[in-house]
Amino acid sequence: MASARIQRWALKLANYSYTLQYRPGVQNGNADGLSRLPLATSPATVPVPEEVVFAMALLDGTPVTASLVAKWTARDPVLSAVVRFILQDWPSQVGEEYRPFHRRNNELSVQKGCVLWGSRVIIPVQGRERLLAELHDSHPGMVRMKALARSYLWWLGLDLDIETTVRGCTVCQQHGKVPPRASLHSWEWPGKPWYRIHIDYAGPFEGKMILVIVDAHS
Ligand SMILES: [Zn+2]
């Protein structure tokens, strides 16, 4: 994180190979002198630097990648054992900590070192806080957070963790309510035949397409 001025300097200096050396202020009189010397002609306005840097603040957290999850998985004592069980075979007796995984046994797979339950990535303890923060980004509220999580990730107690996060967040408490669903508006029944028809193709059925027309009245 640096001001636009510092970033301009960084860009400029990126062309050179250099070493930085610290010099205390008292020994830096030449630089001070140069920046404070009166100019022969003073400009009417403060000159704008030639290059424009669209300074983009660094994201608070870089996105979580598959290789990161794989690294966490390898370090997690339970999950790394689960990986082994999936790839080789489950033992006939498993400890309490493996039960939640053993129960899902048929739906578990390993992909690039990550454990998947169906299409959801199982997140080791190490990454949970970060992913909760990512799910919570923009304060979508409990329902949306759970829905989002459901399509991508899972861990034991995920729902509870989401609930705790949302309950502890004042912004979510104030704004996280899901707006009421709009009530369904059904087609009105037409008063006479052939007033409104619904048409669609069905098939191919035995090599033929069937054009289906439904008269809404009859
Ligand atoms: Zn929130």
Assign residue 167 the CATH number of its domain: 1.10.340
Q: Ligand 1 center to residue 133 CA distance, Å?
A: 9
Name the least confident of 1-15, 71-85, 125-139, 157-171: 1-15
Pick from 97, 92, 91, 122: nearest CA to 108? 122
Position 162 in a domain: yes
- Ligand 1 centroid to Cα of residue 170, in Å, is 6
Mean pLDDT in the chain? Answer: 85
Domain assignment present for residue 74? The answer is yes
- Cα 78 to ligand 1 centre (Å): 30
Q: How far is CA 16 from the centre of its chain?
A: 36
What's the CA gap between 48 and 29, in Å, rounded?
A: 25
Question: Nearest-CA neighbor of 155 among 101, 87, 99, 111?
Answer: 101
Strand partners, 211: 201
- Looking at residue 73, its pLDDT comes to 95
Instruction: Please state, in angstroms and as integers, the Cα–Cα distance from residue 24 to each residue in 5, 21, 32, 71, 115, following that order.
Output: 21, 10, 12, 43, 53
C-alpha 138 to ligand 1 mean position (Å): 7
How many Cβ atoms are within 10 Å of 148's Cβ, its own excluded? Answer: 15
**Residue 164 domain-assigned (yes or no):** yes
CA 125 to ligand 1 center in whole angstroms: 21
Answer yes or no: is 41 within a domain: no
- CA 174 / ligand 1 centre spacing (Å): 9
Residue 201's SS3 state is strand
Are 125 and 76 in contact by the 8 Å Cβ rule? The answer is yes
123: which residues sit within 8 A by CB, 6+ positions away? 69, 72, 131, 153, 154, 155
Residue 1 clears pLDDT 60, i.e. is over it:
no
Helix, strand, coil share (%) of the chain residues, nearest 5 = 45, 15, 45
**Is residue 166 in a domain?**
yes
Tell me the two tokens of residue 94.
């498993």
Q: Which amino acid is at 195?
A: Y
> 169 CA distance to ligand 1 centroid (A)?
5
C-alpha 140 – ligand 1 centre gap (Å):
7
Residue 195 lies in a domain: no
Q: Is residue 180 part of a domain?
A: no
What single DSSP character describes residue 110? Answer: E
Question: What spacing in Å lies between the alpha carbon of 55 and ligand 1's midpoint?
Answer: 27
Is 83 within a domain? yes
The Å distance, Cα 183 to ligand 1 centre, comes to: 28
Number of domains in the chain: 1
pTM of the model: 0.54
Kindly give the distance from the C-alpha atom of residue 69 to the centroid of ligand 1, in angstroms, as a whole number. 24
Query: Higher pLDDT residue, 71 or 32?
Result: 71
Q: What is the band of 178 on the pLDDT scale with cuts at 50, 70, 90?
A: low
How many Å apart are CA 158 and CA 150, to the nearest integer?
9
Residue 145's domain comprises 66-175
Query: Ligand 1 centroid vs 63 CA: distance in angstroms?
Result: 19
Q: How confident is the model at residue 179 (pLDDT cuts 50, 70, 90)?
A: low
